Amino acid sequence: MRNLAKLIAALTALTFMSACGTTRSSESTAPTSASDGDVAATQEAENVHKIGEMHRYSDGLDVTVQKIESLPEGSLDSDVNGSPVLITIIVRNGTGKTVDTASFGEWITSGGVEATTYTDPDIGAQDPTSDLLPGGTITYKVAAIVNDPQAIQIDWGNSTLDHPHSHWISTGSVERQTAH
């Protein structure tokens, strides 16, 4: 209870402090010319890829959503309706710095619905947790139950590096998983 009171007091203080001494301009943040808008659209389009394509960040971090495989019905212990899939992601560290793989995140939607993701070491779906040294590569898999296996969007990000999210979209290229 004391911690809750401290939290409320801290949030109240932050609210008052953030309201004092700042003035916001009413200037628009819209592009000032057609070329600025074109640059913004190009940068956003550069972050959208097909499955199998690599995204290279300016610091040398390379990310590829290599493939999406359909899993047999019932292969994930779940009562969620949908189609189970296994997504393979490859990250190559060309940054010259050690990268904490526990900071990687994937957000998956399918048919306009947020997918449910699972960790299941039995099928190789496990979040990475180790450091990725400069020059190193890690391949990991994410299991998910999706609404429409032919319309999957995967957003990838790293919470400790200043990178915009990269996006991959499936175009009906879901492979059948072979028996282990």
Q: What CATH code is assigned to 49-176? A: 2.60.40.1240
Question: Tell me, what's the pLDDT at 177?
Answer: 56
The token duo for 161 is 């590096």
Pair 136, 91: CB distance under 8 Å: no
Q: 23: pLDDT confidence band, cut at 50, 70 and 90?
A: very low
Whole-angstrom distance, CA of residue 42 vs CA of residue 48 = 10
**H or E segment at 4?**
helix 2-19
Q: Which residue has the tokens 């175009």?
A: 171
Instruction: Share the mean pLDDT of the chain.
Output: 77
* Model pLDDT for residues 116-141, shown as the tens digit of each residue: 999 999 899 998 999 999 999 999 99
Q: Which of 26-35, 52-61, 151-160 has the highest mean pLDDT?
A: 52-61
Who wins on pLDDT, 105 or 13? 105
The residue ranges of every structural domain in the chain are: 49-176
Does 153 score more than 60 pLDDT? yes
* Model pLDDT for residues 94-107, shown as the tens digit of each residue: 999 999 998 889 99
Q: Which residue has the tokens 């994937």?
A: 106
